[in-house]
Structure 1
Amino acid sequence: MNHPYPQPHPRTGLLPGTFGIGTFTDSALAFPALVHPDGSVIDISARFADTHAVFDDWERAFGELTRLASGEEPTHRIEDIRALPPLARPNLLCAGANYKQHVAEMLTKNAFNQHNRLPGESDEDFYRRNYAMMEKRADDGTPFLWTGLHSSLAGADDDIVLPGVGVQHDWELEIGVVLSGGARNATPSAAAGLIAGYLMVNDLGTVDLFRRTDIPWGYDWIAKHQPGFKPAGPFIVPAPFVDVDQVRIRLRLNGEVMQNWPANDMVFDFPRLVAYASERVRLMPGDILIAGSPPGNGMHHGRFLTDGDIIDSEITGLGRQRNRCRNEHADREPVYGAWKNEVRA
């Protein structure tokens, strides 16, 4: 019998019977904490120096956190403290081109892919062909990952500062995992056992800085690493509490729904992504891997972020984010401005 999935708590976005792990500040000190669905918070700094220490020995830590959640008295309320990035200095591994519809839409619309359109081919037929290519890629293809900088992380409610370089600042709300240990050449089955928890990350980037024609390989991903371009958290939810098949990714811009998609509609699921990563790099406890964006980014809508915009984001059971966009006030004009080839939706 199918039971309805429980509803997230209106205060935190956590599901009943779960908890989140994050880093917070009360304006004086930063501290690791456990968050209950009702917004009560337990400072765990007496047992863990920071959240990195939690994931250094996850099996032991999860047992300890479970005991704290059931027996320790709260020390704070969530509304009285500010969320910092849940982990301060993780390696970031970011999947691209990993939702079938999103990639098929981009391939159909993007000006730089029109050379692949057949003579006289309609948008509908071109889209179907691109979607079929993504389905084939899911069967026998290879994931695409790039690395990120932890200096781009921000708290769940921090302002997003839009830099003066480029104008097509885009959002991509994504579900991510935090790893519990390192591995090399893991099988997908073994990789699944490395997933300690889940979190939400908005993977922002400045689209008109991506495309380059002065270099043979064509793309420049540094524009995804601006300060504050990775709002994360507000917390990490342990993997036993999360059923990805029931999770939905939603983002609103100034109240208008832009992204609303099931998290499990990936080309490559998390075990395959982690297994692939383990063949390319040395995975470490506390590493974050985000799974790519579902449909609905700014490029698709032909709308990019501007000063004063409000982004409201939520992923089922993983919490909520609210970020106000504001323009950067720089001391000088950028020397290296936007690359002259503007990316068109």
Structure 2
Amino acid sequence: MKFMRFGDRYGSKVPCLVEADGTLRDLSPLVADIGPATLGGALQDALSDSDIAHLKVINPDGRRVAPPMSEPRNIWCVGLNFSDHAAEAGLPVPKEPILFNKAAGTFCGPNDPLLYSPEMTKLDWEVELGIVISKPALRITKETAMDHVAGFVVVNDVSERAWQMEREGQWVKGKSFPNFCPVGPMLVTPDEVDVGNLSMWLDVDGERMQDGSTSTMIFDVPTIVSYMSEFTQLEAGDLICTGTPPGVGAGMNPQRWLTPGKVVTLGIERLGEQRQEVTPL
């Protein structure tokens, strides 16, 4: 199944089912929202007990595309999880997943603006596959990990590299400005897609920067979910960003950065596309 949500950032959202032909059906009569309370199976149960054809068709024209699920309690990230990106960065392939966080307040819609602060000097992009957790996971095996996955999303793991790499402290400092985590447009359930071999891309002002595939991920989805559950309890609705292929601005020679007015477009095969304009505060 595929799901979307529409609505203003701070207002109520309309949850929708995306049919195979692209038709959007309003799920509001069945569920209040797509989030922790419904990702664990209640959403699918509600749909299996209903006549989808009787649900209202939504016209998306003029509507803001919201993230496909409500704001997560936690946003987790995996660093250097693509072999070709590690090579680009001149760093060894990690022996274990490198974990860090983004603030939950970075969460925004797939087409919302990328906010540019006057203090920024090295704003960068990262197209990533996102995992959405369906139910709590603690000390689970790789064999059962997919039982805890609600679906997959496109993520732009936006980074301010000077804050991340040149200031004291952890990476979270360069990862947590508002709108640094555009998500969506769709949440796609695991039965719809093989995430082990999906093309992924990112353009800046129409110029291709990233052109990769999930096939070069060092740690796959079950490994990441199981590994993380050794150290923390993953909660329903949590988002895990799984790393990026080569082509980030920090890896270029000379390095390239986003500045106000630039437009970033990105996507992952079968998961949809995003568009953001860099906008000064």
Q: Structures share a fold, TM > 0.5?
A: yes
Alignment equivalent of 2:83, drawn from 93, 100, 107: 100
Alignment equivalent of 2:29, drawn from 43, 46, 63: 46
Whole-angstrom CA distance in 2 between matches of 1:261 and 1:68: 39
Q: Tell whether the 8 Å contact from 1:211 to 1:220 is kept in structure 2 after alignment.
A: yes
Deviation readout 1:265-292 (Å, 9 max, x if unpaired)? 1111111111111011111111111111
Deviation at 1:70, TM superposition (A): 4.9
RMSD across aligned positions (CA): 2.2
Letter in 2 for 1:25: G
Alignment equivalent of 1:76, drawn from 50, 53, 58: 58
Q: Tell whether the 8 Å contact from 2:31 to 2:46 is kept in structure 1 after alignment.
A: no
- Which residue of structure 2 lines up, in the alignment, with residue 315 of structure 1? 268
**CA 1:81–1:38 in structure 2 vs 1: closer, same or farther (change >3 Å)?**
farther
- Which residue of structure 2 lines up, in the alignment, with residue 253 of structure 1? 204
Letter in 2 for 1:171: W
Letter in 1 for 2:35: H
- Which residue of structure 2 lines up, in the alignment, with residue 149 of structure 1? 103
- Which residue of structure 2 lines up, in the alignment, with residue 159 of structure 1? 113
- Which residue of structure 2 lines up, in the alignment, with residue 116 of structure 1? none
- Which residue of structure 2 lines up, in the alignment, with residue 211 of structure 1? 165
Deviation at 1:20, TM superposition (A): 2.1
Letter in 1 for 2:205: N
Whole-angstrom CA distance in 2 between matches of 1:76 and 1:104: 45
> How many pairs does the alignment contain?
277
| Structure with the bigger percentage of helix | 1
Letter in 1 for 2:63: I
Percent same amino acid at aligned positions? Answer: 30
Unaligned runs of 5+ in 2: none
Whole-angstrom CA distance in 2 between matches of 1:208 and 1:261: 25
| Structure with the bigger percentage of strand | 2
SS at match of 2:137: coil
1:22 is the counterpart of 2:4: yes
Letter in 2 for 1:103: A
TM-score by length of 2: 0.91
Unaligned runs of 5+ in 1: 1-18, 108-129, 329-345
TM-score by length of 1: 0.75
Whichever of the two has the greater Rg, that structure is 1
**CA 1:243–1:306 in structure 2 vs 1: closer, same or farther (change >3 Å)?**
same
Deviation at 1:26, TM superposition (A): 7.2
**Alignment of structure 1 residues 1-345 onto 2, 5 Å:** 19-25=1-7, 29-53=12-36, 55-58=38-41, 60-65=42-47, 70-90=52-72, 91-107=74-90, 133-134=92-93, 137=94, 141-212=95-166, 219-301=170-252, 302-328=255-281
